[in-house]
Amino acid sequence: MSNYGPHTEDSPVIYTPEGLELKKCLDPVYFITNYVKVLHFTDGLVPLIPKPQQLEMIDGYENHYHNVVNHESQSGESRLTMAYLLWYTMFHSDKTVMVLSTKDEAAKDLLEIARTAYDNIPNGILKLKMVENNKHCITFDNGSRIIARATTEHALKGLSLSLLYLNDFGFIKPNLQSAILHTAGPHMFTGGKTIVSSNTQHDRKDAFSELQDSLIIYKIGNEERHQKISINHIPA
């Protein structure tokens, strides 16, 4: 199966308006700007037009394996990231994305952002078929899926992930932060992508602050490892 979902960069261009439009959508910025709609708390359903700092976020997600996003409240980070994850799963085959948030309801709300955006994409060559659709998971017919769960010690066990999104990670209890990073350590060193976000009002010394220092502490068997990784830091 190809790396991309409905179309690939190496495939012959389909010289129809829809085919050419599909080719443009291999660019996440183009796809998000032209096709993603989100619910605004006063204006209802509106297009998601990335701001300059959000364009930096997308560039980071595309060009770095590991990104830490330090954002202000109401910055739109979660909506922008979920829009990117929707693009990522629609245009890449056989990818598993895990979204972890502080509580189950928060995780389901994040997945609903992607679901709303998908539901408002016009039918046609661009829109993949959704083969699984529930409160905690959406799966496309290209084999890619987004799973949303509360952050718990066992949330990542038994899964082979392509991309891990830790939402509001700075608000997780320090011992749970460490447990998650212990579990995610091998993922982060074997080509898996990671997005970690939290509010900028974070001043305690914990696993999130260590992550900002590019330090990952994890275990393989009974052996604890401390390793540095390259992390792209994004103010949003």
Q: What does the pLDDT read at residue 105?
A: 97
Q: Which of 4-13, 55-64, 193-202 has the lowest mean pLDDT?
A: 4-13
Instruction: Give the integer Cα–Cα distance in Å for 122 and 6.
Output: 15
Is there a domain that residue 6 lies in?
Answer: no
Is there a domain that residue 161 lies in?
Answer: yes
Residue 34: give its domain's CATH number: 3.40.50.300
Q: Check: CB of residue 233 under 8 Å from CB of residue 64.
A: no
Is there a domain that residue 2 lies in?
Answer: no
Q: What is the pLDDT of residues 161-200, one digit of tens each?
A: 999 999 998 888 888 988 888 788 777 777 789 998 887 5
Q: What does the pLDDT read at residue 49?
A: 93
Is there a domain that residue 45 lies in?
Answer: yes
Q: Which of 9-18, 138-147, 162-171, 213-222 has the lowest mean pLDDT?
A: 213-222
Q: What does the pLDDT read at residue 4?
A: 45
Q: Average of pLDDT values for 62-68? A: 86
Instruction: Give the integer Cα–Cα distance in Å for 184 and 186.
Output: 6
- The first and second tokens of residue 145, run together, are 């899926």
Instruction: Check pLDDT > 50 for residue 2.
Output: no
Q: What is the pLDDT of residues 91-131, one digit of tens each?
A: 999 999 999 999 999 999 999 999 999 999 988 767 789 99
Domain containing residue 58: 17-235
Pick from 8-17, 31-40, 152-161, 184-193 the range whose average pLDDT is largest.
Answer: 31-40
Instruction: Check pLDDT > 80 for residue 213.
Output: no
Number of domains in the chain: 1
Is there a domain that residue 96 lies in?
Answer: yes
Instruction: Give the integer Cα–Cα distance in Å for 188 and 9.
Output: 26
Share of the chain above pLDDT 90, in %: 44
Is there a domain that residue 5 lies in?
Answer: no
Instruction: Check pLDDT > 50 for residue 218.
Output: no
Furthest C-alpha separation in the chain: 57
Is there a domain that residue 7 lies in?
Answer: no
Is there a domain that residue 180 lies in?
Answer: yes
64 contacts: CB under 8 Å, gap ≥ 6: 230, 231, 232
Pick from 52-56, 65-69, 110-114, 170-174 the range whose average pLDDT is largest.
Answer: 110-114
